[in-house]
Amino acid sequence: MSAGFIVVVAILAFALVTVWKGVRIVPQGEEWIVERLGKYHGTLHPGLNIIIPYLDRIAYKLVTKDIILDVQEQEVITKDNAVILTNAIAFIKVTDPVKAVYGVVDFSEAIRNLIMTTLRSITGEMELDQALSSRDKIKVRLRESIADEAVDWGLTVKSVEIQDIKPSASMQKAMEMQASAERERKAMVTRAEGEKQSMILQAEARVESARRDAEAQVTLAEASSEAIKRVAQAIGDRDTPMLYLLGEKYITAITHLAGSDNAKMIVLPADVQEAVRGVLGRFNKT
């Protein structure tokens, strides 16, 4: 094999390697950053591109499609010192590849940490109930807060969604105990209110009963008064019938008292016989 043939083969191999290094085909959805002698030279767009071998090199390959960033779960302390767990997901797009690679070391990690710190700051200004019920408000404030920083890094934040926001395990237990205590308090209030209404109704019933008893006593008194008046009118000046009636009532009352099941001993007045004899004597005289 002659030396000339070897030289030709070497030249052909060098040419092939040079062409291979100088021709770059960039796929759709990507942009490549070219550096010449360590300095930014240009950006290769999708399609066929030519660079100068040995002087230019592909330093970065960036995806220009929407990038999904998962923001890990973290603990956040609310304004009323409650601990909640929250995480998010962000959709970003590289709009300026030069800023994305030269403005920050790792734009994905930078935007993820920015979302985490901003999320802590926003929810830390809210109380627990407000934080749990304000996902849309938090999302809007979060996107507005990181938009300016993202532009400086050549990024556009298309959307930030709060995946989950919930109390921590210890906080959930405390909330359950609080809810149980609140239910017990309401039950006690309901029972107390029922007892109060019952006592009011019983008092009203006693008042009504006393009123009716008083009315009945008044009616009986009026009836007795009327009866006495009529007896007085019927007897006139004669007292014998009246004495006879009184004696009869007196004897009837004693008879009923003696026949009672609860009566063990009956004490009669010392002059009962004289009283009866006087009544009967006066009756006989008439």
pLDDT in tens, 199-247: 888 888 888 888 888 888 888 777 767 766 776 666 665 555 556 566 6
**How much is the average pLDDT of 24-38?**
91
Statement to judge: residues 285 and 271 lie in one domain: yes
Cα–Cα distance for residue pair 88/116, rounded to 1 Å: 8
Considering only residues 229 and 155, tell me which one the structure prediction assigns the higher pLDDT. Answer: 155
**CA 224 to chain CA mean position, Å:** 70
Choose between 168 and 22: higher pLDDT.
22
Same domain? For 26 and 82 the reply is no
Q: Can you give the residue range of the structural domain that contains 27? A: 3-63
Residues 79 and 136 in one domain: yes
Q: Distance between CA 197 and CA 202 in Å, rounded?
A: 9
Q: How confident is the model at residue 44 (pLDDT cuts 50, 70, 90)?
A: very high
Rounded-to-integer distance, Cα 194 and Cα 190, Å: 6
Contact 56, 24 (CB under 8 A): no
> 248 and 270 in one domain?
yes
At 283, is the pLDDT very low, low, confident or very high (cuts 50, 70, 90)? Answer: very low
Q: Furthest-apart CA pair in the chain: how many Å?
A: 189
C-alpha pair distances (Å), 269 with each of 111, 244, 250, 276: 114, 18, 11, 11
Is the pLDDT assigned to residue 80 strictly greater than 60? yes
SS3 content of the chain, % helix, strand, coil (to 5): 60, 25, 20
Average pLDDT over residues 117-131: 87
Using only C-alpha atoms, the chain has a radius of gyration, in whole angstroms, of 55
Tell me: pLDDT of 193 over 60: yes
pLDDT number for residue 202:
87
Question: What mean pLDDT do residues 93-110 have?
Answer: 90
Residues 129 and 215 in one domain: no
Residue 40 has pLDDT above 60, yes or no: yes
Residues 116 and 74 in one domain: yes
Q: Percent of the chain beyond pLDDT 90?
A: 18
Are 241 and 230 in a shared domain? no
* pTM confidence score: 0.56
Question: Looking at 63, 98, 114, which one is the last position of a domain?
Answer: 63
Mean pLDDT of 173-177: 67
Q: How many domains does the chain have?
A: 4
Mean pLDDT of the chain: 80
Q: Tell me: pLDDT of 126 over 50.
A: yes
Residue 266 has pLDDT above 70, yes or no: no
- Going by pLDDT thresholds of 50, 70 and 90, the confidence category of residue 180 is confident
- Do 241 and 228 lie in one domain? The reply is no
251: helix, coil or strand? helix
Contact yes or no for 94/155 (Cβ under 8 A): yes
Single-letter amino acid code for the residue at 134 = S
Domain of residue 75, CATH code = 3.30.479.30
Is 188 found in the same domain as 154? no
- Do 38 and 58 have their domain in common? yes
30 vs 273, more confident: 30
Residue at which a domain ends, from 24, 42, 63: 63
Q: What is the mean pLDDT of residues 109-116?
A: 91
- Going by C-beta distance under 8 Å and a sequence separation of 6 or more, which residues neighbour residue 175? 167
Top-ranked range on mean pLDDT: pick from 71-80, 169-178, 179-188, 248-257 = 71-80
The pLDDT of residue 131: 83
